[in-house]
Structure 1
Amino acid sequence: MTQRVSRRSLLAMGTALPALAMPTIGRAQGRYKPEYKITVVGNRPIALSESAFVWADLVNQRSEGRLNFKVYPGSSLVGGDQTRELVAIRQGVIDGAVFSTINISPQVREMNIFSLPFLMPNTAAFDALVASEVGAALFRTLAQRDIEPLAWGENGFREISNSKRAIRAPGDLRGLKIRFAAGAIFSEIYTSLGANPVQMSFADLQPALSTGAVDGQENPVNLFLGFRMDTLAQKHLTLWNYCADAGIVAISKQALAAFEPRDREIVVEAAREAGQAGNNAARKGLGANGDRSSLEECARRGVEVIDLTAAEKQAFARATRSVYDKWAGTVGTDLVRQAEAAIARVS
């Protein structure tokens, strides 16, 4: 489910920059930065953060000291505002990132495809989408912004929790204050369901839940567990898979072009493995291969887990269809139709 830069492409980049392809470690170290800054929202155990740390660790080990990737979690390089990461890379302030597509969708409208409500019913649909021409097209779009996308990853499907009541039908959301991270599409989704959407950064989410400034939030299950949201009055968790939080392991084109061919290959191969590590973390214990350990842990913590039926999910899909149709036009109708076709082949 990842996109890779081929060995041939990497070597081609090297031949385009013959003066940079120096063989000795000493010269490489003299030319390379002392540190390459990698940004990611949140921190471990968020799956995207897992990808970032795995990427950095693999690059640092395999380059034998030529490269020093350092992860700055919590979007700390941009003051905690994850929506500024893309701009910071383009400005040269940051060298690489594990992006959430949600956080870059305000700047790259096509990335809103992952936020179309109820487009992807499950992980098979997600995998089919990113492996299709749609995934390749999204990477080409990002590459036009001075950023080299190296691999797809995943933070998980976003489920909804709250402190007030079980959510089983659209009407159950009426009046609830629900936090969302970024993107006008989320405001419109929750407004269409009768909720009161509140945008805020992840850094502000936990204090807002603890004080009751918001009633609920939407995040993947393993993030819910990792950040102990059950201790923040979040006692009702509904599994509805309304959208997926896709991740992209990426680096600035300028940084990648400056590496020797062998180091470019290390960076790209490590990105692929890091994306898969994030996928594994996002999907752990959610029912695949009979492993429901994460859901069982929710129950042990006193959280009511509501696993909606297909018919119940369809009720939410119908209620948000106008938002879907509007944003399909924003994303690009042809791109959305291609995504729907790719998903239909595995449904």
Structure 2
Amino acid sequence: MMRRAGWISALAAASVTALALAGCSGGAAASGSSTVEVKLSIPDPIGSSVGMAAQHFADEVKAKSNGSVKVTVIPNGTSFGGDQNAAVSRVQSGSLDAVILSTSVYAATDKKMNAVSLPYLFSSVDQEVKYLDGAPGKELLSDLAQSGTKGLAMLSRTPREVTNSVRPIQTPDDLKGLKIRVPGNPLWTKFFSAVGASPTPMNFSEVYTALQTGAINGQENPVEVPATNKFAEVQKYLSMTNHMSDAFVLAISDKKWNSLDSKDQQALQASADDTAAFKTKNDAQLADTQVKQLESQGMKVNDLSPEGAAQFKTIARSLYPQFADTVGGADFLKTTVDFVDGQ
């Protein structure tokens, strides 16, 4: 779809080559010993982009471990009562085996995770993937080791877009006076205030009703969110603002990781690397389909004007010095910006 061409490039060649595991035929499954189970908890339904990635990981682990490791996906946050912050603590303690959670969740304990979501940091998904695969992403994963967690992979996510019921958004002026639901995070509240909107933090469970009653005019999320939550019923415009991104972390508790032999650890790591590539490609395909779905349901979809995109980026970048503490300090802010601008 042309409107996403600048953001989501063709990724057919992005698949990660599977790691050849020496001696797999002598693994636990082949020798008749019991299979090791890893329970992978995710906050979203199995049919979501995260659910698809989790199932892909499970399938890859089964193949790469020759059946000696079984990954069981537990969707909908049922294993942690929907409390994602509690899930972080539980994987650290080992009472959860493994999780896929957003960087914004981990940011509650490691502010550097917020750096992924700096407004207008990335100009494309390819650029985000390079950041996640590169030195900054590796640093974020290594930080998890300080709290009893093995970070296996950083998984990209499609950028966030604005929906509203008043007018299409093409320049910052179009946001003036609009009440836009945002997460309760200074990256969001400061950015949307700076571009003239009225940022309104709100629990996501309340958003549909608030849109329906007019308590808020709009919200911002990756396209998957309005598509799967029937926002076309209460929103008229989808503007491809691509204003912020976040990512997901595939992680396993040290307790579970250390209980695995080296061949099984290799299988999990290779599967995680493959899953990161799978999610990027699969998300791009899903996003295009979901934009068309929203259009067919009556939403009007527009790109930013070139002038508007430049105005948004200028405003966003002017805020970066204010975000140093929010992203873990001036040093990591500089590391992040230098890495991305050097691409």
TM-score scaled by length of structure 2: 0.81
Within a 5 Å distance, the mapping from 1:170-181 to structure 2 comes to: 170-181=172-183
Give the direction of change, closer, same or farther, for the CA distance of 1:273–1:241 in structure 2 (3 Å limit).
Answer: same
Partner residue, 2:6: none
Residue pair 1:86, 1:104 contacting (<8 A) in 2 also: yes
Residue pair 2:93, 2:148 contacting (<8 A) in 1 also: no
Q: Secondary structure at the match of 1:77?
A: helix
Say whether residues 1:160 and 2:156 are aligned partners.
no
What is the CA distance between 1:130 and its match in structure 2? 1.8
Partner residue, 1:17: none
Give the direction of change, closer, same or farther, for the CA distance of 1:162–1:329 in structure 2 (3 Å limit).
Answer: same
Say whether residues 1:258 and 2:267 are aligned partners.
no
Residue pair 1:48, 1:153 contacting (<8 A) in 2 also: no
What is the CA distance between 1:62 and its match in structure 2? 4.6
Residue pair 2:159, 2:245 contacting (<8 A) in 1 also: yes
Partner residue, 1:340: 337
Q: Secondary structure at the match of 2:69?
A: coil
2: CA distance, partners of 1:23 / 1:225: 41
Give the direction of change, closer, same or farther, for the CA distance of 1:110–1:272 in structure 2 (3 Å limit).
Answer: same
Partner residue, 1:122: 124
Q: Secondary structure at the match of 1:74?
A: coil
Q: Secondary structure at the match of 2:82?
A: coil
2: CA distance, partners of 1:144 / 1:133: 18
2: CA distance, partners of 1:228 / 1:267: 36
Residue pair 2:240, 2:304 contacting (<8 A) in 1 also: yes
- How many matched pairs? 324
Give the direction of change, closer, same or farther, for the CA distance of 1:81–1:164 in structure 2 (3 Å limit).
Answer: farther
Within a 5 Å distance, the mapping from 1:83-98 to structure 2 comes to: 83-98=85-100
Worse-superposed segment, 37-46 or 56-65? 56-65
Say whether residues 1:225 and 2:227 are aligned partners.
yes
Q: Which residue of 296, 321, 327 maps to 2:323?
A: 327
Residue pair 1:114, 1:244 contacting (<8 A) in 2 also: yes
Partner residue, 1:309: 305
2: CA distance, partners of 1:306 / 1:165: 10
2: CA distance, partners of 1:257 / 1:3: 25
> Which letter does structure 1 place at the counterpart of 2:330?
T
2: CA distance, partners of 1:206 / 1:61: 41
What is the CA distance between 1:210 and its match in structure 2? 4.5
Partner residue, 1:13: none
Q: Any unmatched runs of 5+ in structure 2?
A: 1-13, 22-26
Residue pair 2:120, 2:317 contacting (<8 A) in 1 also: no
What is the CA distance between 1:262 and its match in structure 2? 1.9
Partner residue, 1:15: none
Q: Which residue of 30, 46, 49 maps to 1:47?
A: 49
Residue pair 2:148, 2:253 contacting (<8 A) in 1 also: yes
> Which letter does structure 2 place at the counterpart of 1:132?
G
Q: Secondary structure at the match of 1:241?
A: coil
2: CA distance, partners of 1:250 / 1:125: 22
Q: Secondary structure at the match of 1:107?
A: coil
> Which letter does structure 1 place at the counterpart of 2:338?
A
> Which letter does structure 1 place at the counterpart of 2:191?
I
Partner residue, 2:109: 107
2: CA distance, partners of 1:137 / 1:157: 22
Residue pair 1:148, 1:252 contacting (<8 A) in 2 also: yes
RMSD (CA atoms):
3.2
What is the CA distance between 1:211 and its match in structure 2? 5.0
> Which letter does structure 1 place at the counterpart of 2:341?
A
Give the direction of change, closer, same or farther, for the CA distance of 1:131–1:315 in structure 2 (3 Å limit).
Answer: same
Residue pair 1:190, 1:197 contacting (<8 A) in 2 also: no
Give the direction of change, closer, same or farther, for the CA distance of 1:22–1:168 in structure 2 (3 Å limit).
Answer: closer
1: CA distance, partners of 2:276 / 2:323: 27
What is the CA distance between 1:342 and its match in structure 2? 2.7
Q: Any unmatched runs of 5+ in structure 1?
A: 9-20, 287-291
> Which letter does structure 1 place at the counterpart of 2:301?
V
Residue pair 2:93, 2:253 contacting (<8 A) in 1 also: no
1: CA distance, partners of 2:83 / 2:246: 17
Residue pair 2:129, 2:156 contacting (<8 A) in 1 also: no
What is the CA distance between 1:45 and its match in structure 2? 4.3
2: CA distance, partners of 1:345 / 1:173: 31
Residue pair 1:2, 1:151 contacting (<8 A) in 2 also: no
TM-score scaled by length of structure 1: 0.80
Partner residue, 2:4: none
What is the CA distance between 1:157 and its match in structure 2? 0.6
Within a 5 Å distance, the mapping from 1:134-153 to structure 2 comes to: 134-153=136-155
Q: Secondary structure at the match of 1:164?
A: coil
Residue pair 1:7, 1:265 contacting (<8 A) in 2 also: no
